[in-house]
Structure 1
Amino acid sequence: MSEVLACIDGSTTAAAVCDYAVWASQRLQAPLSLLHVLDKTQYPQRSDLSGIIGLGTREHLLEELASVDQQHSKRALDQSHQILEAAQARAIQAGTDTPLMRQRHGSLVESLVAFEDSIRLLVIGRHGATNDTVSEHVGSQLEGVTRTVQRPTLITCGDFLAPQNYLFAYDGSFTARKALQMVASSPLLQGLHCHLLMVGSDSATCHTLLDEAAEVLKTSASEVTLVWREADVEPSIRAYQLQQKVDLLVMGAYGHSRIRQFLLGSTTTQLIASSICPLLILR
């Protein structure tokens, strides 16, 4: 796991994805790669229509259809290359070394699984090119990515803003403690103010767990603010984000509490959709 991989498409979110990927690459001192995936719907393949139109009697029509398919494919490839070149130029202008451009055919999930072993951090936009203007709507492939790719994933929304603070949604579970260790040992969030939030009904237990977690973070965070809420997870997180103007939401992907039920249940996309800032999901 050595590189920051940014998923670039033709949507308006591509600029923010590129900017966050550059920021992460510089913080992690890791190389940056830009990936654009050509879905099959973007470059129609030639079909065998001989049985329908009668091979031989309408051979010229077959040739015409093949030519149209080739033109569609070429346009899609040219557009893909232009998208990657624009992202590469933006990244270079932001001060990073020349990123590697990668172009793949097929599905986004399959492409990311193929690169999974080399990914240190995946950066992807919340909206895709097919639902670019839909407010608080998750890209059609994003949920599949977050459930399949077993690498830390940074999901962007809105314009780029270099994070100065982050909200860590903590539940005290074994996997949440592992995620906390990842944050504490990684240069990605080093020196930022951490808001450590826990949702639960037992305040005494919550405060004990929060104090223990704060000890883990004290060497990496510039400041740790402990927060306990008894209400539901999603409204609590959203309200705190708004109140404190949080720049980044951080969550472990697995746990054993109400946060786990919320994140892994059918409302996974609700959390991603409702967040007013980028979301970092840790595996």
Structure 2
Amino acid sequence: MDAPLEFLHVIDSHPERGPGDDHSGAIGVDAQESLLAQLSAEDEARAKSAREQGRLFLNQLRERALAAGAARVDVRQRHGALEDTVVEQAQGVRLLVLGRRGAGAEVARRELGHHVEHLVRALNRPILTVTEDFKAPQRVMIAFDGGTVTRRGVEMVAGSPLFRGLPILLLMSGKQSRDAPKSLDWARDTLKAAGFEVTVSLVPGDAETVIATAVKEQSIDMLIMGAFGHSPLRGLLFGSKTTDLLRSSRIPTLLLR
């Protein structure tokens, strides 16, 4: 992309206390000041350790990026909630890369939808969600529905060096309209004009099932799709296909809004 790279590490301002931090027995009046001082010291020690670990982590990432050929690399560490901090720091960002698995993988899976949906809706720009076993993609699939968002996605891929030289599978699924073939032709022609090798597939059926099947059968290792097209209320009541796909998918996914 020929763009500067920045690593952002967010330290939770309200981490949960560990199992060894139970002070429920220190309830006497005389113990109050001592307990408060102890809690304050523990919080400060915990915060200092988190800052130092974060600094070392960011420096390691920076060195890896420079060794891999990145020319402009910056690091930034902030305290706060993940979503709010990323939104605050995202001015001028063209692409956000977000890990889908962390040290607490079970917690990451449960909270994935909340974090990603909030960021996608708030930032209104592409977000690449990646898994821990990321590798350079060899085959890309665009889940295309003919709408404004995925049309912009096709134009973005056509005009960006990010996926240059990779074969593209254009997949349209779900309930088909009369304009579907025409929309697919436009997307195929746009990508071919940019030099891409393009395969087109029009498969009726449930979008989530069709996409998951195509990823497996076509050995896709990068998925591009629109995200959270409905209101947050509808997602709360009926769930989100975007979130379901992300939870089940094992490949990097570029989300468009």
Please report the TM-score for the alignment, with normalisation by the length of structure 1: 0.75
1:162 corresponds in structure 2 to 136
Quick one: structure 1 residues 135 and 63, their matched pair in 2 at CA, closer, same or farther if it must change by over 3 Å? closer
Moved more, 152-161 or 30-39: 152-161
Listed one character per residue, the Cα deviations across residues 167-222 of structure 1 (whole Å, up to 9, x for unaligned) are 01111123322222122112212222110001144486422221121111112342
Aligned residues: 242
> 65, 76, 83: which one pairs with 2:50?
76
* Letter of the 1:40 counterpart: S
2:92 corresponds in structure 1 to 118
User: Does residue 199 of structure 1 match 2:173?
Assistant: yes
Quick one: structure 1 residues 150 and 255, their matched pair in 2 at CA, closer, same or farther if it must change by over 3 Å? closer
User: Does residue 35 of structure 1 match 2:11?
Assistant: no
Question: 1-side partners of 2:203 and 2:210: how far apart?
Answer: 7
2:254 corresponds in structure 1 to 280
TM-fit CA distance, 1:237: 0.6
Question: 2-side partners of 1:90 and 1:187: how far apart?
Answer: 22
* Unpaired runs of at least 5, structure 2: 18-26
Q: Is the 8 A contact 1:38 1:104 kept in 2?
A: yes
TM-fit CA distance, 1:84: 0.9
Please report the TM-score for the alignment, with normalisation by the length of structure 2: 0.82
* Letter of the 2:216 counterpart: L
2:122 corresponds in structure 1 to 148
> 53, 78, 83: which one pairs with 1:109?
83
SS of 2:214 mapped into structure 1: helix
2:71 corresponds in structure 1 to 97
SS of 1:41 mapped into structure 2: coil
TM-fit CA distance, 1:63: 2.7
1:186 corresponds in structure 2 to 160
Moved more, 30-39 or 205-214: 205-214
